[in-house]
Structure 1
Amino acid sequence: MTLFSPMRVLKTLITATAAAGLLAAAGAAHAQQGGVLRVSAIPDEAPTELQRKFKPLGEYLAKATGLKVEFTPVTDYAASVEGLVNRKLDMVWFGGFTFVQANVRSKGQVTPLVQRAEDEKFQSVFITTKPDIVKLADLKGKTLSFGSESSTSGHLMPRSFLLGAKVNPDTDLKRVSFSGAHDATVAAVAGGKVDAGALNISVWEKLVEAKRVDPQAVRVFYTTPGYYDYNWTVHSSMDPALKKKITDAFLALDASTPEGKAILDLQRATKFIPTRTSNYSAIEAAARDAGLLK
């Protein structure tokens, strides 16, 4: 006859609970590996352009990870932050400021994996059609369009450089508006809706190259110093093995191969490099100084 032993029952329960936990974890990992990688990006350009840019990259990542890669557009910058923080998205192309917002919002539960080499010293440009605007101080009393309120290169850093030039956008300008996207800012300036605009230099150069804007009619009158900007970020709970696969895939992109060149050209990158949270400390400080991050 086996005597009842409370200690034996407790040990059995602990063992069973641990085994159940391991099985659940294994099941989750299996589901992730055999499921879908949900990817998105801040909507800093038209949705059709974001889809076009991502398509070959998505196909490349699908081969590298063995997962089905789905690009899910979001309506605004805040939705990209909330999507990753709440784990409705697995990976997001963030600007520096949206990364900081996601990091603060999640209490450090997001991980930046890679950035373009160009994002180590990214820049913004100020554009205008007005001949009397040749420096930042000339914007006093004028109208100006930023991009999205949460844009690093279309709002936060341009605002920071304006303040550094003793121009307060909220008190010294006639009117400040937000276009929502970099290409929309260019359209607003070209169409005479505002006297000037601030946007990401990469989108500006792409629009000029595509002859979608005449740089003689709409000209750059100020280019900012460099700062850290965009990155690909995942939720920190992602399986470490999957994080490594994604990181390695980005780092392996090589412009000397047809596939690599096509992807890098669309991403306007020479190559991707590893990044880390500390790279964005200056952006966090700028956001707090500007009162854009509590």
Structure 2
Amino acid sequence: MQKKWMAVLVFAVALFGLAACSSDDAQGQEGGAGDVIDIVWYPNESGNDLKTARDAIGEQIAEATGKEVEHHLTTDYAIAIETIVNNNAALAFMGAQGYIEANEQNDAIKPIVVSTGSSGTLDDAMYHSWLAVKVDEADDFKDNGEFSLDTIEDKRFSFVSNSSTSGFVVPSSTILDYFSDKDLTEEDLMEDGPLFSQVLFGGSHQGSAVNLLNDSADVAAFCDSCVDNYVEIAEGEENTVGSVYRVKDDAEEPFNTVPGEEFTLMSVTPVLNAPFVANMDVLGEENYEVIQEAFASDEMANNEDVFVPSDSDASGLFSKSGEERFVPVEDEWFNPIRELSQN
């Protein structure tokens, strides 16, 4: 008799478990994300100096959805991409190339918004990929007084990550096009020997810049927006070949090791702005729509912790000099970066 009742009890518990799972599945399909929305950040945006910006974005998402927001900080591009691809995060802020890689691995990854330029539209929604050298070595990278890519051959070169749009895909495409007669591949640029004497990866844009400034590399690829909080223009105009930038005396990690160091730009290339993206299997359509609306709202655009006024000394993810804001974006907008990756 006791065994019979035990069997009944086990059967009842199993039925209860199945019912609970069915309920959870239904909730996931309708709303998604449960009670917590996890947003994963690249290493570039995981530093303490950007905590206020991350928290401000998280607060807007929490207010819009009524859910708790948790920030998943990383020290590696691949980890960030894997986190959202493997359904361990609902949202991510990542470069165009990272989004493309994530979408290829999991078609549930979908763009939400990108930040615009000062026009408030996608027409100028771009930042810049730099190739930089130290100021006192600039002449070594010139031919007849002009910067030339011929001079980077056999030099020590620092990229960010092979999943970085402006820290690898864009500069490597430029380099491969220039040295087309050498029949090189992206893989060749990641290895010591075929073109560069040594290849380093900074792991972040900040890390790649520091590789240059601490003399670990002769040339480095990184982007303007990721180092904007740490450097100031010392000579020339912003995002112009030949302009000189100086590390601020009070710059936070990792630039606190190279205060006052200067670099100059030998190449400047516009790049499509980075998207916030969603894993639809984790987030759900209802939450996606609510979050997209919150991102594109005037309230978000006017949040000075998110879009920091250009005359402010505060650190932020985005700068506001005009009508900058977030706008919805479709997958097709990233096709120019896809085409670079396929070349």
TM-score clears 0.5: yes
- Measure, in 2, the Cα distance between the counterparts of 1:41 and 1:272: 17
How far 1:140 sits from its partner (Å)? 1.3
The answer as to 2:277 corresponding to 1:233 is yes
Please identify which structure carries the higher strand content: 2
- Measure, in 2, the Cα distance between the counterparts of 1:22 and 1:187: 51
CA contact (8 A) 2:50 2:317 kept: no
How far 1:227 sits from its partner (Å)? 2.9
Unaligned runs of 5+ in 2: 1-18, 118-123, 142-146, 233-246, 252-257, 309-315
Q: How does 1:73-112 map to 2 (within 5 A)?
A: 73-106=73-106, 108-112=107-111
Cα deviations across residues 167-198 of structure 1 (Å, max 9, x unaligned)? 75452222221111111111111111111100
- Measure, in 2, the Cα distance between the counterparts of 1:239 and 1:56: 22
1:250 is aligned to 295
- Measure, in 2, the Cα distance between the counterparts of 1:71 and 1:58: 8
1:205 is aligned to 228
Counterpart of 1:202, as a letter, is S
The answer as to 2:273 corresponding to 1:274 is no
CA contact (8 A) 1:208 1:215 kept: no
Q: 1:126 aligns with which of 126, 131, 135?
A: 131
Cα deviations across residues 229-283 of structure 1 (Å, max 9, x unaligned)? 41011112332221111111111145874xx122112221421111111112222
Structure 1 residues 147, 52: closer, same or farther in 2, change over 3 A? Answer: farther
Cα deviations across residues 4-29 of structure 1 (Å, max 9, x unaligned)? xxxxxxxxxxxxxxx99985554446
CA contact (8 A) 2:30 2:285 kept: no
Secondary structure of the equivalent of 1:123? strand
Please identify which structure carries the higher helix content: 1
CA contact (8 A) 1:251 1:271 kept: yes
- Measure, in 1, the Cα distance between the counterparts of 2:33 and 2:196: 52
Structure 1 residues 278, 165: closer, same or farther in 2, change over 3 A? Answer: same
Cα deviations across residues 24-49 of structure 1 (Å, max 9, x unaligned)? 55444688476000111122355334
Structure 1 residues 50, 105: closer, same or farther in 2, change over 3 A? Answer: farther
2:268 is aligned to 223
- Measure, in 1, the Cα distance between the counterparts of 2:286 and 2:226: 34
How far 1:147 sits from its partner (Å)? 0.8
- Measure, in 1, the Cα distance between the counterparts of 2:53 and 2:161: 20
Structure 1 residues 31, 278: closer, same or farther in 2, change over 3 A? Answer: closer
Structure 1 residues 217, 86: closer, same or farther in 2, change over 3 A? Answer: closer
1:284 is aligned to 338
Structure 1 residues 142, 45: closer, same or farther in 2, change over 3 A? Answer: farther
**TM-align CA RMSD:** 2.8
The answer as to 2:156 corresponding to 1:113 is no
- Measure, in 2, the Cα distance between the counterparts of 1:33 and 1:85: 15
CA contact (8 A) 1:41 1:73 kept: yes
- Measure, in 1, the Cα distance between the counterparts of 2:260 and 2:69: 37
- Measure, in 2, the Cα distance between the counterparts of 1:200 and 1:156: 12
Secondary structure of the equivalent of 1:172? coil
Secondary structure of the equivalent of 1:100? helix
Q: How does 1:24-173 map to 2 (within 5 A)?
A: 24-28=24-28, 32=32, 35-45=35-45, 47-106=47-106, 108-118=107-117, 120-129=125-134, 130-131=137-138, 132-133=140-141, 134-166=147-179, 169=189, 171-173=194-196
Secondary structure of the equivalent of 2:307? helix
How far 1:101 sits from its partner (Å)? 0.7
Percent identity between the aligned chains?
23
CA contact (8 A) 1:147 1:180 kept: yes
How far 1:120 sits from its partner (Å)? 3.1
How far 1:216 sits from its partner (Å)? 7.5
Normalization by structure 1: what TM-score? Answer: 0.81
- Measure, in 2, the Cα distance between the counterparts of 1:236 and 1:32: 8
* 203-212 or 171-180, which deviates more: 203-212
- Measure, in 2, the Cα distance between the counterparts of 1:227 and 1:30: 36
CA contact (8 A) 1:152 1:229 kept: no
How far 1:137 sits from its partner (Å)? 2.3
Unaligned runs of 5+ in 1: 1-18, 290-294
Counterpart of 1:37, as a letter, is I
- Measure, in 2, the Cα distance between the counterparts of 1:231 and 1:152: 12
